[in-house]
Amino acid sequence: MLLALLLAVAFAAVRMRDLFSVVMLFSIYSLLTAALFMDLDAVDVAFTEAAVGAGVSTILMLASLRLVGRSEQARRRNPLLALSVVAVTGAALIYGLSDAPLLGDPNAPAQQHVAPYYIQNAMADTGVPNLVTAVLASYRGFDTFGETLVVFTAGLAVMLLLGSGRARDNQQYGSEDDRNIQRLVVRALIPWILVFALYVQFHGDFGAGGGFQAGVIFASAFVLFDLVHGHRVTAQVIPAHWLPRLGALGALIYGGVGLCSLFVGQPFLDYAALAQDPIAGQHLGILLVELGVGLTVFSVITAIYYAFSTREQLR
Amino acid sequence: MSQPDLLALALLLPFAGALLIALLGRQPRLRDALVLIVPLALLATVVQLLPAVLGGAQPSLTLLQVMPGLTLSFSIEPLGMLFAAVAALLWPAASLYSIGYLKANREKHQTRFHACFAISIGGAVGVAFAANLLTLFISYEVLTLATYPLVAHKADTKALRGARIYLGVLLSTSIGLLLPAILWTWAAAGTLDFRPGGILAGTLDNGLLGILLFLYAYGIGKAALMPLHRWLPAAMVAPTPVSALLHAVAVVKAGVFSLLKVLVYVFGIDLLRELPASTWLFALAAASILIASTIALRQDNLKRRLAYSTVSQLSYVLLGAMILAPLSLLGAALHIAAHAFGKITLFFAAGAIYTAAHKTEVSQLGGIGYRMPWTMTAFSIGALSMIGLPPLAGFLSKWYLLGGAWQSEHYAAMLVITISTLLNAAYFVPIIHAAWFKPADAHSDHGEAPPSIVAALLFTALLTLLLCFSYEIPLQLAQAIPGGSP
Amino acid sequence: MTLSDQLPILAVVVPLLASPLCVLIGNRHAAWLIALLAAVGAFAASAGLLLAQLQGAGPVSYALGDWAPPIGIEFRVDHLSALVLLIVSAMAVWVLAYARRSVEAEVAQDKQTGLYAALLLVHAGLAGIVLTGDAFNAFVFLEISSLASYALISMGRDRRALTAAFQYLVMGTLGATFILIGIGFLYMMTGTLNMADLAERLPALSDTRTIQAGFAFISVGIALKLAMFPLHLWLPNAYTYAPSVVSAFLAATATKVAVYLMLRFVFSVFGHDFAIAHMHLDYLLLPLAAIAVLLLSLVAIFQYDLKRMLAYSSVAQVGYMLMGLAIATPLGVTASIVHLFNHALMKGALFLALGAVMWRVGSTHIGQLSGIGQRMPWTMGAFLLGGLSLIGVPLTAGFISKWYLVSAAIAQGWWWLILVIVISSLLAVIYIWRVVETAWFTPSPNGTAGRAEAPLSLLLPTWTLALANLYFGIDTSLSVGMAEAAVGGLFGGAP
Amino acid sequence: MELPGLFNYWVVVVLMMAGFYVVIEQGNLVKKLIGLGLFQASVFIFYISIGKVADGAPPILGDAAELYSNPLPHVLILTAIVVGVATTAVGLSLIVRIHEQYGSVEEDDIHRADVQADEDEA
pLDDT digits (tens, 9 = 90+) for C90-119: 999 999 999 998 998 888 888 899 999 999
Position D61 in a domain: no
Across the interface, which of B67, B171, B184 has its CB nearest the CB of C476?
B67
| Domains of chain D: total | 1
Same domain, B165 and B296: no
**Residue range(s) defining the domain that contains residue D82:** 8-51+68-121
Measured in whole angstroms, how far is the alpha carbon of residue A157 from the centre of its chain?
Answer: 17
Answer for the pair D41, D19: CB distance below 8 angstroms, yes or no. Answer: yes
Chain C residues with CB under 8 Å of D50 CB are 184, 187-188
- The H or E element containing residue A154 is helix A141-162
The verdict on B293 and B227 lying in the same domain is no
Nearest-angstrom CA–CA distance, B385 and B378: 11
pLDDT at position B485 is: 63
CATH of the domain at D39: 1.10.287.3510
First and final CA of chain B: distance in angstroms? 35
Sequence-distant (≥ 6) Cβ neighbours of residue A185 within 8 angstroms: none
Task: Please write the tens of the pLDDT for every residue from B15-47.
Answer: 988 888 888 878 888 888 888 888 888 888 888
Give residue-wise pLDDT tens across range A86-134: 899 888 888 888 888 888 788 888 888 888 888 888 888 888 888 888 8
Q: How far apart are CA C167 and CA C162, in angstroms?
A: 9
Distance linking the first and last C-alpha atoms of chain A: 45
Reported as type and span, the H/E element at residue C247 is helix C244-263
Chains contacting C (3 or more CB pairs within 8 Å):
A, B, D
Shortest CA gap A161–chain C (Å):
7
Question: How many Cα neighbours within 13 Å face the side chain of D51?
Answer: 31
**Confidence at residue C385, expressed as pLDDT on a 0 to 100 scale:** 93
The amino acid that residue C160 corresponds to is R
Cα separation of C280 and C274, whole Å?
A: 8
Collect all residues from B whose CB is shorter than 8 A from any CB in C.
Answer: 64-68, 72, 134, 137-138, 141-142, 145, 149, 152, 155, 159-160, 164, 167-168, 171-172, 175-176, 179-180, 183-184, 186-187
Q: Which residues of C touch D34 (CB under 8 A)?
A: none
Contacts of A139 in chain C (CB under 8 A): 65, 67, 71-72
The full length of chain D comes to 122
| Shared-domain flag, residues B280 and B269 | no
Q: What is the pLDDT of residues A287-300, one digit of tens each?
A: 888 899 999 999 99
B263 & B412 share domain: no
C-beta separation of B320 from B331 below 8 A: yes
The Cβ of residue C437 has, within 10 Å, a number of other Cβ atoms equal to: 16
B262 and B212 within one domain: yes
Give yes or no for a contact between B347 and B249, defined as CB atoms under 8 angstroms apart: no
H or E element, residue B71: strand B70-75
Structural domain total, chain B: 2
Q: Are residues B45 and B118 in the same domain?
A: yes
What CA–CA distance (Å, rounded) separates B328 from B325?
A: 5
Report the candidate in C197, C264, C279 with the shortest Cα–Cα distance to residue C225: C264
Write the CA distances from C340 to B77, B362, B397, integer angstroms.
39, 57, 52
Instruction: Look at strands C74-77 and C60-63 and give their pairing.
Output: antiparallel
CA distance A254 to chain C (A): 10
CA C391 to chain centre: 18
pLDDT at res. B468: 75
Q: Quick one: which of D80, D61, D62, D81 has its CA closest to D71?
A: D61
Both B101 and B189 in one domain: the answer is: yes
Q: How many CB pairs under 8 A join A and D?
A: 277
- Return the pLDDT at C494: 40
Quote the distance between the C-alpha of residue B232 and its chain's center. 12
Radius of gyration of the CA atoms of chain B, in A = 21
> Does B235 share its domain with B324?
no
CA atoms within 13 A on the CB side of C144: 34
Residues B268 and B366 in one domain: no
Compute the distance between CA of residue A190 and CA of residue A223 in angstroms, rounded to an integer. 10
Residue D10's pLDDT band (boundaries 50, 70, 90)? Answer: confident
Strand partners, B62: B73
Q: How far apart are CA C467 and CA C459, in angstroms?
A: 12
Task: Please give the pLDDT value at position A270.
Answer: 87
Specify the 3-state DSSP secondary structure of B361: strand
CB C195 within 8 A of CB C255: no
Contact B344, B244 (CB under 8 A): yes
Nearest C-alpha neighbor of D57 from the set A38, A45, A109: A38
Mark whether B289 and B173 lie in a shared domain: no
Say if residue B223 is in the same domain as residue B160.
yes
For range B375-403, the mean pLDDT: 84
* 3-state class (DSSP) for residue B60: strand
Rounded average pLDDT over C47-60? 89
Give the three-state DSSP class for C305: strand
Which class for C58: exposed (0-12), middle (13-18), buried (19 or more C-beta within 10 A)? exposed
How far apart CA D84 and CA C173 sit, in angstroms, is: 9
Are the beta carbons of A161 and C190 separated by less than 8 Å? no
Beta bridge partners of A71: A18
CA B92 to chain centre: 15
**Cα torsion angle, A47, A50, A55, A58, sign:** positive
Residue C134 dihedral angles phi and psi, to the nearest 5°: -125, 125
Cβ-contact A93, D10 below 8 angstroms? no
- Answer whether C touches D (≥3 Cβ pairs < 8 Å): yes
User: What is the distance between the alpha carbons of residues C77 and C190, in angstroms, rounded to a whole number?
Assistant: 23
Instruction: Give the closest of C17, C62, C137 to A255, CB-based.
Output: C17
CB contact under 8 Å between C150 and D90, yes or no, is yes
The CA distance from D52 to D61, in Å, is 16
DSSP characters for A19-32? Answer: HHHHHHHHHHHHHH
> Which residue stretches of chain A have pLDDT < 70?
1, 74-77, 164-175, 208, 313-315
- The Cβ of residue C388 has, within 10 Å, a number of other Cβ atoms equal to 27
Residues 6+ apart with CB under 8 A from C144: A146, A149, A150, A153, C121, C124, C125, C128
Reply yes or no on whether the pLDDT at C493 is more than 50.
no
D63 pLDDT above the threshold of 50 = yes
Decide if D83 and A105 are in contact by the 8 Å CB cutoff: no
Question: Residue B393: which domain range?
Answer: 276-486
To the question of domain A1-99 being in CATH 1.20.120.1200, the answer is yes
**CA nearest D59 in A: which residue?**
A131
- Three-state SS at D106: strand
CA C339 – CA C332 distance, rounded (Å): 11
How distant, in Å, are the alpha carbons of B119, B142, B152 from that of B162?
A: 21, 19, 7
Helix (H, G, I), strand (E, B) or coil at C226: coil
Rg (CA), chain C: 21
If you compute the radius of gyration of chain D from its CA atoms, what whole number of angstroms results?
Answer: 21
Interface of C with D in 145-184 (CB under 8 A): 147, 150-151, 154, 159-160, 162-163, 165-166, 169-170, 173-174, 176-177, 180-181, 184
Task: Show me where the domains of chain A are located.
Answer: 1-99, 131-315
Q: Answer whether residue D18 is part of any domain.
A: yes
Entry pTM: 0.90
* Mean per-residue pLDDT over chain D, rounded: 85
Q: d(Cα B376, Cα B382) in Å, to the nearest integer? A: 10
pLDDT at residue number D3: 44
Asked if B40 and B150 sit in the same domain, the reply is yes
Residue type present at position D66: E
Which residues, 6 or more positions from D118, have their beta carbon under 8 angstroms from its beta carbon? none
pLDDT tens digit string along A55-98? Answer: 888 888 988 888 888 777 766 667 788 888 889 988 888 888 88
Contact B147, B234 (CB under 8 A): no
Most confident of A201-210, B77-86, B432-441, C125-134: C125-134
- Asked if C366 has any chain D CB less than 8 Å from its own CB, the reply is no
Task: Note the pLDDT tens digit of each residue in B277-329.
Answer: 888 888 888 888 889 888 888 888 888 888 888 888 888 888 888 888 888 88
Q: How many C-alpha atoms does A230 have within 13 Å on its Cβ side? A: 10
Residue C3: CB atoms within 10 A of its CB come to 11
pLDDT at residue C350 is higher than 90: yes
Q: Is the pLDDT reported for residue C372 higher than 60? A: yes
Tell me the Cα Rg of chain A.
22
- Choose one of B246, B275, B304: the last residue of a domain: B275
Chains B and D touch (3+ CB pairs under 8 A): no
Nearest to C150 by CA among C160, C161, C141, C138: C161
Cβ contact C433–B172 (<8 Å) = no
Residue numbers in B near C476 (CB within 8 A): 66-67
Question: How far is Cα B144 from Cα B131, in angstroms, rounded to an integer?
Answer: 19
